[in-house]
Chains A and B, each alone.
Chain A
Amino acid sequence: MATYIGRRLLQIIPVLFGVSVIVFFMVRAIPGDPAQILLGQQATPEQVERLREQLGLNEDPLTQYVIFLRDALTGDLGESIVTGRPVTVELLDRFPATLELTLAALLFAVAVGIPVGVLAAVRQYSWIDRLTSVVALTGVSMPIFWLALVLVVIFTVRLDLLPFPGRLSSGVEIVRITGMVVPDAILTGNFAGLWDGIKHLVLPAVALGTIPMAVVTRMTRSAMLEVMGEDYIRTAHAKGVTPWRVVFKHALRNAMLPVVTVIGLQFGLLMGGAVLTETIFSWDGIGQIALESIYRRDYPMIQGVVLYGASFFVMVNLVVDILYAVLDPRVRY
């Protein structure tokens, strides 16, 4: 097992190297000069030139890449052109916000998706099953930004039930321990803050979690249907085990295997959705900074965000594979 994990971790190196090459040169292929964008319409050509020099943009790209790679190997991803802070600090600062949102979205997806999927499978071809299919299909096809706005209009503007945007209301402050609002509020016993944080979390989590929820529902349903046809289920029924006990004790546990994989993959993919969700909800996470840094041609930031996203995806996949191996002993490392 340890060698397996070690080998898998080593495989990450060429992946990240490849990603770094692609993002580094792609970013520089986007037209638009960071110095010009930063200085705005008022700047003179001389000022732009001086800033380019300061930012090291006048070196040839290959030299720039070698410098970047050398620094990156020591954990230094450079400094953001816009804020002047180290990219790693920016990412770590904003990571908790994204993680909290992503986990909440995933929680929503799993908490809704698995029971509904089970129900749909157990009552195959019933109206519940049909309704589930329709809802799941709608969920998968719905653009996140549109869903997000619809949710805002309904729950914030019309019903005035939930606050928006941001992570907390302005009077509310929470001592930062993990950087995630809900855990920090619990750890510091700040229950007003906890309630405020949860209310702010609901809409973005639902918006972001809808697609994974739909995917998990469909996956649970088909995995359950497959398992329910197995001999040992029939045996269990024959032995007189109560139907719901069969579903939860025998079938569900075995059906969870592919569902875990799907959940893992969705977790990795949520990064993409977070860009849109965070932008709309003014959620100061990595997704928001991703879009902003592209607008402003903040090369080091874009590189940092993409590398972060790739590492996150690879790590989640690794965890899923390990989990899979643990869940199913027949999987060989």
Chain B
Amino acid sequence: MAKASGIRGLSRKEFLQLGGAGLAGAALLGVAGCGGGETIGGGQQGGGEEGVFTFGRGADSVGLDPINVTDGESLIVCRQVFDGLLDFKPETTDLVPALAAEVPEPEEGGRVYTFRLREGVKFHDGEPFNAEAVVFNFERWKNTDNQYHKGGGSQSSNFAYYSGMFGGFDDDSVIESVEAVDEYTVRFTLREVQAPFLRNIAMSPFGIASPRAIRENVEQFWKNPVGTGPFKFVSWDQGATVRLEKNPDWWGTDLPEEEGGGGPFVDRVVFRSIPDNTARVAALSGGQLSGADGLTPDDVPTIEEDPNLKVITRPPMNVGYLAMNVQKEPFNDRRVRLAVVHAINMPEIVEAFFGDTGQVASNPYPPTIPYFREETEPYEYDPERARELLREAGLGDGFEAELWYMPIPRPYMPDGKGIAQAMQRDLREVGIDVRLVTREWGTYLEETGRGAHDMCLLGWTGDNGDPDNFLNVLLSSKTATETDAQNVAYYKNPELDRILERAASTIDEDERRGLYVRAQEIVHEDAPWAPIAYAEPPLGFQNSVQGYHPSPTGGESFNSVRISG
């Protein structure tokens, strides 16, 4: 740096002019960035202000066209703006009618469903809701040559949930046809029986959109959503805030609250993304948020100590697990897998890392899902038995393996590293020496999805409340693929495959129960996983917030939310 001395070249006036020119230039740049007349609006308000429910979450939505997104943050907003034909009863995964007037009975052995629709319902743009609207939406989703089978530009998910839940598009789709029988009756004909069909229909992605809004501008629909829901879309500052307002004409206002009706009570709903977890909790404590999602178990005591705040936990619809790669030695030996599950002190781990926000898992899916096998006990913590099993397997001296853990908290795994370390300690006791490995989250999924690991931590949150959505996705041979595998244990059992296939293609309740109970038994015996916990994700609220019914699906409707005094 030059030595400081001699100032002669610049008067104070000139100096100020320079600074002024810089500012003016910057201001011009700002103008260039946006059209005139736009406004900058804030996202949060004092929790005490009546009529505005401000919900803090970890990330912004990706898009607001429900069929074209896959992330929970997009879907929970869509949930408020759109209604589907069916819905899940608050706090459960039981079905209740929504835009349909009742839950239809299967006809022709489950190949045909006839939905009678609610009459007099209007979309937010004033269009009438009727059978044509339902047909229009399903044809848009299903047919790849439909002129509206697009939208949302490059952030679009390409209707991933439609093909995911209904087996593909066009002729691959389980749904063969959707016809309007009369103005308020729609008939679905299926190519084959799909047991979870009605639960799929109830999922948030299948919210019915206004045909007029789609026809007018399908490309922009993802940021101008129009549905029939309890709240209307107002504005979206991408990266920060989504604003909705009350739909006073909502069809569900007079329904009982237990059936998902009532309200909407608050005038406005504001979704605010605050990526930093600690900052989000601070904003809640400071009264800037009415409620906040994405808390960790560590945040729970902080919130409980605050007299103005309360914690509500979601019923679990997830499972966190340790998967052993059964394609690799020595995990191809069932005795080794059993040794691992008996070596880990799971109750202690769940107590330490989940506290009151989780229960020790026994089956591959949680008790909120039908046909849960109550008799399955979590594997007993028994290091002596583990050592014995290892000796039987000829590994009395122990062995070495890699244990992968995810780098970020997930709803079903609040502290991947801590849990992995606790497992490492337990496994060392019986002579299994594990090396801990992690990768950035995107990479983690990619690498575990092609079987790079010996053991890995992972979990799953269900979509539709059906056992098929857990067992078939996570433990069938179909998903033990070479890349992008969901079955990261690479567990392939022909008997289980047969059972799952059968159970997915029958609508006989008793038969399904028998099959799924047997499936859980098989998995427990074969031990491809050490199930860890069913997490009950915590939410934090101001005490003044009433009527929030946490949903196992993570996508609750805010129609019943009230803010008192």
**Interface presence of A40 (CB below 8 A):** yes
* A149-B278, A166-B44, A170-B41 as given contacts; A226 in contact with B34, CB under 8 Å: no
A289 CA / B273 CA spacing, docked (Å): 12
Q: How far is the CA of A226 from the CA of B3 in the complex (A)?
A: 9
Is A303 located at the chain interface by the 8 A CB criterion? no
B285 neighbours in A (Cβ, 8 Å): 157
Q: Is the CB of A173 within 8 A of B2?
A: no
Known: A47-B160, A152-B286. A168 touches B41 (CB 8 A): yes
Contacts of A165 in B (CB 8 A): 44, 272, 274, 279, 283, 288
Report the count of interface residues on B (CB-CB < 8 A): 83
Contact between B34 and A179, CB atoms less than 8 A apart: yes
For A39, give its contact among B1, B10, B157 (CB under 8 Å). Answer: B157
Q: How far is the CB of B472 from chain A (nearest CB, A)?
A: 13
State whether B483 touches A280 (Cβ < 8 A): no
Q: In whole angstroms, what is the CA distance A152 to B283 when docked? A: 8
| Closest B residue by C-beta to A43 | B160
Looking at the complex, which of A10-18, A112-120, A122-130, A320-328 is the stretch in contact with chain B? A320-328
In the complex, the answer to whether A280 meets B443 with C-beta atoms within 8 Å is no
CB of A166 within 8 A of CB of B42, answer: yes
A68 proximal to B (CB < 8 A): no
Dominant secondary structure of chain A at its interface with chain B: helix
- B153–A84 touching, CB < 8 Å: yes
Supposing A43-B160, A165-B279 touch, asked if A329 and B8 sit within 8 A by C-beta, the answer is yes
Interface string of A291-333 (1 = CB under 8 A from B): 1100001000000000000000000000100011011111100
Q: How many whole Å from B33's CB to the nearest CB in chain A?
A: 3
Q: List chain B residues, Cβ under 8 A from A50.
A: 158
Least distance between B2 CB and chain A CB atoms (Å): 7
Contacts A81-B155, A96-B30, A173-B41; A280 near B279 (Cβ below 8 A)? yes
Contacts of B5 in A (CB 8 A): 227, 230, 254, 257
Contact with A along B48-70 (1 / 0, CB 8 A): 01001010000110100000001
Contacts of B463 in A (CB 8 A): 42
CA distance A31 to B60 in the complex (A): 23
Does B393 have its Cβ within 8 Å of any Cβ on chain A? no
With most chain B CB atoms within 10 A of its CB, the pick from A39, A91, A163, A165 is: A165
Q: Find the B residue at minimum CB distance from A156.
A: B286
Judged by a CB distance under 8 angstroms, whether B161 is at the interface is: yes
A19-27, A135-143, A180-188, A240-248 - the one binding chain B: A180-188
Q: Which residue of B lies closest to A276 (CB)?
A: B276
The digit string for A83-120, where 1 denotes a CB below 8 A from any CB of B, is 11000010111111001000000000000000000000
Cβ–Cβ < 8 Å partners of B45 in chain A? 169-171
Contact with A along B251-277 (1 / 0, CB 8 A): 000000000000000001010111110
A133 contacts the other chain (CB 8 A): no
Q: Does A41 lie within 8 Å of B486, measured CB to CB? A: yes
Among B152, B154, B288, which residue has its beta carbon within 8 angstroms of that of A156? B288
Q: Interface readout for B314-339 with A: 1 if CB under 8 Å, 0 if not?
A: 00000000000000000000000000
1/0 per position for A210-237, CB-CB distance to B under 8 A?
0000000000000100110010000000
In A34-58, the 8 Å CB interface with B consists of 36-45, 47-48, 50-51, 54-55
Nearest-CB residue, chain A, relative to B45: A170
Chain A residues near B270 (CB-CB < 8 A):
170
Instruction: Using CB atoms, name the residue of chain A closest to B458.
Output: A41
Could you say which of B14, B238, B442 contacts A32, with CB atoms under 8 Å apart?
A: B442
- For the complex of A and B, the 9 pairs showing the least CB-CB separation, nearest first, are A32-B442, A168-B42, A92-B33, A84-B153, A40-B70, A96-B30, A31-B443, A178-B30, A179-B30
Q: List 12 A-B contacts (CB under 8 A).
A: A94-B239, A95-B29, A99-B29, A164-B288, A166-B272, A168-B41, A170-B41, A173-B39, A176-B37, A292-B239, A319-B22, A328-B9
